Amino acid sequence: MTFLSRTLFRSILSTQSKKSNLHTTSILSLFWERDEKSGYKDNRPEMSKTELIRQGLKELKTEIALWSEEMKDRLESDPILVYRPGETDVQWTFGTEDSLRIWKVTSDKDNNEGYSTGSLMLNKYGNAVFSGELDTRVPKDGKTKRAGYCNMQTQRFRRSFKREAYLDWTCYNMLVMKVRGDGRSYMINIGTKGYYDILWNDMYHFVLYTRGGPYWQITKVPFSKFFLSSKGRIQDRQFPLPLNRITSFGFSVGDKVNGSFNLEIQYIGLEFDPNHTEEFAYEMYETDRYIAGG
């Protein structure tokens, strides 16, 4: 193609795009997500393929043992035994350093978006303590608008040989936790990352109110009460929590109050309550076209 013909071709495309709003660029990303973490990069250094292979061979023995446990659990599992009203099936408990490895703690400081800090440690009683300092100062970088959050969350669930998996909680209708807080309000977060990029940031929430003081509290939250959000924004259209596609669980603190926070956790479990028959707490209404319902 000659220079003249290329120039003519570009002028025709430019004219058509002005008349019919035709997009001739590939960088338009109205609904497209570039990566699963929406720009939040992992601080761990990238490994070459050779290093990944060497690491995989070292983990082969562990993965085979994990696969053996999966086969054993599958043969021994009996879904009929799950429906035990009033009994709590403990999903996560603490007491050893190994029990903390599946959890990761992040804050706005880790992403250069603030000055808050957080940690997850065991106390002398063998309970997990999520603590730190919340700081709502906004960095003067010209981009950050709000600051002041800390978060603890489980790693992505997986099966043997690095296969990503989902937790299936369809046999339960209640989340049960034994915690001891400081009077702050914490957010319970349940991730349900879908296959398509528009669903990567789907998260279901409910507020955990702590009363503070020296006494423990056992909190029961029906799964029907959890509401849907994406990237921290509550969605106009709500849907029930898909209990067969749980990818992560965690807590976050961001109540806009400067100072220290402390949440002690003894266990997190699940329960089936036959007296709770509510399927979805949020009533949706039919609206006119192009008007979101909420």
Task: Please give the Cα distance from 178 to 267 (Å, whole number).
Answer: 6
| Distances in whole angstroms, Cα of residue 126 to Cα of each of 1, 95, 202, 264 | 74, 4, 33, 10
Q: Which residues contact 214 (CB under 8 A, 6 or more apart)?
A: 180
Residues 10-50: tens digit of each pLDDT: 454 444 444 444 444 444 445 556 666 666 566 556 666 67
Q: Computed from CA positions of residues 41, 148, 202, 248, in that sequence, does the dihedral angle turn out positive or negative?
A: positive
157 in Cβ contact with 247 (< 8 Å): yes
The pLDDT score that the predictor gives to residue 61 is: 73
Cβ density class 195-206: b for 16+ within 10 Å, e for less: eeeeebbbbbbb
pLDDT digits 0-9 by tens, 102-122: 999 999 999 889 999 999 999
Domain at 53-271, CATH class = mainly beta
- Domain ranges in the chain are 53-271
Alpha-helical (H) ranges within 152-275 are none
Chunked mean pLDDT (size 10), the chain, 294 residues: 48 46 45 61 62 67 73 61 74 91 93 93 94 94 89 84 80 94 95 79 94 91 95 87 93 94 96 92 76 55
What does pTM read for this prediction? 0.75
Write out the two tokens for 270.
Answer: 């699940």
Question: DSSP state, 167?
Answer: B
